Structure 1
Amino acid sequence: MITRSARQTFKFPVKAAKSSLYLITAAGAATIASQNLGPPLFPISLSDDSTPLTSSSFSDSVRAGLGGIARSSRAIWTIASSVVDYKYSLHGLSQDSEEYRRVLSEVNLRSAKRILQLCEANKGFYVKAGQFVTALQRIPKEYSATLSSLQDQVFLSFDEHPIAAASIAQVHRAVLRDHQEVAVKVQYPGLKQQLKVDVATMSFLSKSVAWFFPEYRFGWLVSEFAEAIALELDFCREARNAEKTAKNFKSNMVIRIPYVFWELTTSQVLTMEFCKGSKVDDLEHMREMGINPIKVAKAVMEVFAEMIFVHGFLHGDPHPGNILVSPEGPHGFCLVLLDHGIYKELDQGFRQDYCELWKAMILLDSNKILQLGENFGVGKYSRYFPLIFTGRTIGSKSNLGRGMSAEEKQNLKQELKSLKMEDISSFMESLPPDFLTILRTDGLLRSLLSKLGASQRVRLLAYAKYALYGLSHNSNPESDNKVMMVVSRSRVSLSYFRLRFFLEVLDVLSLTEQVIRSFVKRFKQALLSAGYLVGNLLPVPTYR
């Protein structure tokens, strides 16, 4: 019997408690998963029309049920034994003493050995649970050293030091028993609960700001962020996103998606093929490998343009750390796309309208732009679409990617003076959710092109090309007749070349106009200079 005073003075070691908590959680999840994946304990229907249960299926059900009870009992006994060991072994010892630290290390080792025996006896999901705990950096060294042997059942080697660490997970490099190199992404514990608290705080703050300053409304931003992060925390969804993207680009040798090892993947642990490469903005490495950064920029833009306009399935976080350049592939390199947690599946109607919008912006069809603005629900603000995406005003006469004239800049400056924060808030609130993802992705791509030294014209032409492809694209291309697909693609290619020719002609005309203006200006200056000289050389007549 433990006395009241003993219960008051004893403190369970926090670090060890966390380790036990991780294992209890993982083991509990493993038990539930094994029960859900296995047959029900007594799958007997009591209705009159039920199919008779065979003796074989009944015995299998009983065996599965008894096995589940044995596994659960073994887990409960192991954890209970460890808790009792900690409680009595450390009782009465001062946490600041050397003896406490020595005894704690001994108890950690005994507990780790018990858990190792549990995982080896129960196998299956318990081994996964042990591997998950081992990958965490917040456990005592006795646990990580003892449980590391579980990695040997799956991994030939496992680097406990992460090769990458982000806000929600860290990535470890490992080698499977068949010598396949893999990247193991392990999510930090407790993030889902932390997310709820943080989002509630952000929502409260955004509402508070809107209450004091009604024209500053950021609720749309909090909602979009919360939705994106909640999806990113599910590693099984991330794995499915990766597989879908790989399927979409199966015929494209320029892009590579790491293979998913489903048998080593859960909602919080993702195991994928390890792909080598350098970050897409590492210009020095590209020069060493003889890779042209402008060609890389074009490849990146074409991949993401195809995602947006053709597939309608968009990677929403294309920052440089998520795109690698590997010195392999048909053109001397290929792109490796990582981190498939944040994706947006575009509505098909929205995708078609967005294709139409880009076609209209390229051709400066102001009436079509305003009409599509009604479809998107932004009304009068659609006049700013060309400015946002192409850097031209809706009534611009300048060519694609060439910026605005001085006169257009002056007119725009005057127009923007009339806009208030209320207009910006109303515009952002009225945008469809799909549009917000595209705006964010497009912003990241613009920044990346700038780092690679490519002009924005590369981006604009890629969007123009795939907008045309998207307009002819069937949402289920696998069901199309192959001949019709070839014919359709040929027509789109012809339309694109016509559009490209049209843009080049405009460039030539614009250049010609500039040359003529420059010539006329210089000719006038020459005439004025000649008149000045003549006036000074001729004698001035005098009148008497």
Structure 2
Amino acid sequence: MKVKTTIYLITASAITYQAANNLIPADSSSVHSKIIVGYDAVVRSSRAFCTIAVTAADYKYSLYGLSAGSDDYRKKLSEVHLRSAERVRKLCETNKGFYVKAGQFVAAMRQIPKEYSSTLSSLHDQATPCDFKAIKEVLVSNLGHDLSQVFLSLDEHPIAAASIAQVYRAVLKNNQEVAVKVRYPGLEHKMRVDTAVMSFLSNSISWFFPEYRFQWLVSEFSAAISLELDFIQEAKNAERTSESFKTNNFLKVPRIYWDLTTSQVLTMEFCRGHKINDVEYMKEMKINPTKVAKALVEVFAEMIFVHGFLHGDPHPGNILISPEGQNGFTLVLLDHGIYRQLDERFRLDYCQLWKALIFKDSDEIQKIGERFGAGKYARYFPIIFTGRTIDSKSALGKDMSIEERTKLRGEMRSLKLEEISSFMESLPPDFLSILRTDGLLRSLTMTLGASQRVRLLAYAKYALNGISSKRNPSSDFGSEVTLSRFQTDLSYLRLRLVLEVLELLPWMAKFNQFLQSVYETIGNAFMGLATISFK
């Protein structure tokens, strides 16, 4: 262990030194600026190394000698999770930038312990605004030296400050109100060093503790954050989504001003609204939160199952609720930096998976799981997506019975950490992206007070739409198109009937119990009257 630690420290120093060199811009000629940039890189990286080293030691020695699966082990493990999550949160807040983004990314993953997700979720919307002087330099270098020729007015105080950019309200010369998103200077270099350090740390953890493997998570984050830095790509994503949902009256995507958009500056239509988790605001405006949840889930279900082009970061700050629109409200979708283009074969398989989940077709679930590379772990797909076991008898969307919970708890205890790591590593990247998005959507629908049935119905509907082939009405025979739509509608009605019946069964059981209690009450009353009359 000592030899490993020594090698680790030497390697960590080398990685930090190399990362510091990568951080310095090639055209940087100032020795003073090089020293400052290099020092910052070393400090941030060293802070991360120390945090992870202390956390790894905490897990190793706090759980030493405890029997895995025992009550003492689970209690101690939860305590270590909580301490470690707090350390990681402090690291993210101190290092800022991509560390905050990484913390947000991890918090949205439903596969991590709840102690981490609850602790790291506080990182949302926490970012220290950058000085406008530095922001102005970015604006001038991208839009021209005289900003007064571009904007009628530009508020120097940001209306939003995130981990990679700030947003400002401005008015163009034609009196059009716009939102200007400006990327912080020097982010590409910081991204290289931060992701390199994160990758090294994840590999180091798996070296010391083979049962803990997180490289899949770092890879997913690195790929996502690289896309988010390019505002040209973000603008293209926004326009593509706008085109896909042009007939949807519930969704609005801000218009892009291409003549004022570069890889570092994104200028778009200014849209007013409140965060989608502001339930009190909805009540004030007489907007039904359940209807909002339904509209939201249907938008993302269509993204996943039909278009195969998925917004990857639907947290409350990126979705606004506006009281405008013919339906009484409109969803305003922001921040189109992180998207996932789903593989077509995967999209179709995922549609089939949801059809099998609704109909409780365990054989089909297992077959699709094999295609996803999940193997024997496919039996846990129903738990991940519908909250029940693969052989559950409970109604879809309802809680598991006590017996089912007990059985599941036993299965979970028998799973080793390295098995869970193997499961996560085996899943396609598309699957991991959907898991993260689905976790964020579940959290939002719960906040809005909607039942899981709203989500299940939406997923069922759009899974069937996604299975039916996309025909071109102008080239295909009209009768074939009509027949395809009819078959899809018929299948959806069948699915809906299944859900309605499953929902009805528990209610019928409760109603039957109610009738029995009424009969008993009436019977007892008659018996009482008969006794009195005989007296």
Q: What TM-score, normalized by structure 2, do the two folds share?
A: 0.69
Matching of residue 427 in structure 1 with residue 428 in structure 2: no
Aligned-partner Cα distance in 2 for 1:462–1:338: 22
Indicate conservation of the 8 Å contact 2:134/2:185, yes or no. no
| 1:313-332 to 2 correspondences below 5 Å | 313-332=309-328
The match for 2:329 among 328, 333, 347 is: 333
Q: Secondary structure at the match of 2:400?
A: coil
Partner of 1:531: none
Aligned-partner Cα distance in 1 for 2:245–2:476: 17
Aligned-partner Cα distance in 2 for 1:157–1:185: 15
Partner of 2:352: 356
Aligned-partner Cα distance in 2 for 1:364–1:140: 54
Aligned-partner Cα distance in 2 for 1:193–1:419: 40
Corresponding letter in the other structure for 1:450: M
Matching of residue 202 in structure 1 with residue 198 in structure 2: yes
CA deviations over 1:469-505 (Å, ceiling 9, x no partner) = 1111428788656665454334322321221122212
Aligned-partner Cα distance in 1 for 2:311–2:242: 12
CA deviations over 1:220-246 (Å, ceiling 9, x no partner) = 000000000000000000000001001
Partner of 1:417: 413
Q: Secondary structure at the match of 1:467?
A: helix
Matching of residue 137 in structure 1 with residue 132 in structure 2: yes
Alignment CA distance shift 1:212-1:521 (3 Å) = farther
Aligned-partner Cα distance in 2 for 1:342–1:228: 6
- Give how far 1:370 is off: 0.3
Partner of 2:263: 267
| 1:180-191 to 2 correspondences below 5 Å | 180-191=176-187
Corresponding letter in the other structure for 2:242: A
Partner of 1:228: 224
Alignment CA distance shift 1:478-1:232 (3 Å) = farther
Alignment CA distance shift 1:159-1:375 (3 Å) = same
Alignment gaps of 5+ in structure 1 = 1-11, 19-134, 528-544
Partner of 2:236: 240
Partner of 2:62: none
Alignment gaps of 5+ in structure 2 = 1-29, 37-129, 524-535
Indicate conservation of the 8 Å contact 2:138/2:264, yes or no. no
Alignment CA distance shift 1:481-1:243 (3 Å) = farther
Aligned-partner Cα distance in 1 for 2:138–2:377: 60
Matching of residue 381 in structure 1 with residue 377 in structure 2: yes
Partner of 1:172: 168
CA deviations over 1:292-322 (Å, ceiling 9, x no partner) = 1111010000000000000000000000110
Aligned-partner Cα distance in 2 for 1:352–1:476: 18
Alignment CA distance shift 1:143-1:250 (3 Å) = closer
| 1:5-404 to 2 correspondences below 5 Å | 137-139=132-134, 150-404=146-400
RMSD over aligned CA atoms reads: 3.3
Alignment CA distance shift 1:486-1:239 (3 Å) = farther
Aligned-partner Cα distance in 2 for 1:517–1:288: 39
Matching of residue 444 in structure 1 with residue 440 in structure 2: yes
- Give how far 1:517 is off: 6.6
> Larger relative contact order (C-alpha < 8 A, sep ≥ 6)?
2
Partner of 1:454: 450
Q: Secondary structure at the match of 1:291?
A: coil
Corresponding letter in the other structure for 1:279: K
Alignment CA distance shift 1:349-1:477 (3 Å) = farther
Q: Secondary structure at the match of 1:171?
A: strand
Alignment CA distance shift 1:137-1:483 (3 Å) = farther
Q: Secondary structure at the match of 1:324?
A: strand
Partner of 1:465: 461
CA deviations over 1:361-390 (Å, ceiling 9, x no partner) = 011000000000011011000000000100
Alignment CA distance shift 1:451-1:507 (3 Å) = closer
Q: What TM-score, normalized by structure 1, do the two folds share?
A: 0.68
After superposing the two structures, state which structure 1 stretch, 150-159 or 334-343, moved more.
150-159
Q: Secondary structure at the match of 1:275?
A: coil
Between the two proteins, the alignment pairs up a number of residues equal to: 403
Which has the greater radius of gyration? Answer: 1
Identity of paired residues, percent? 63
Indicate conservation of the 8 Å contact 2:138/2:185, yes or no. no
Aligned-partner Cα distance in 2 for 1:399–1:331: 32
Indicate conservation of the 8 Å contact 1:310/1:473, yes or no. no
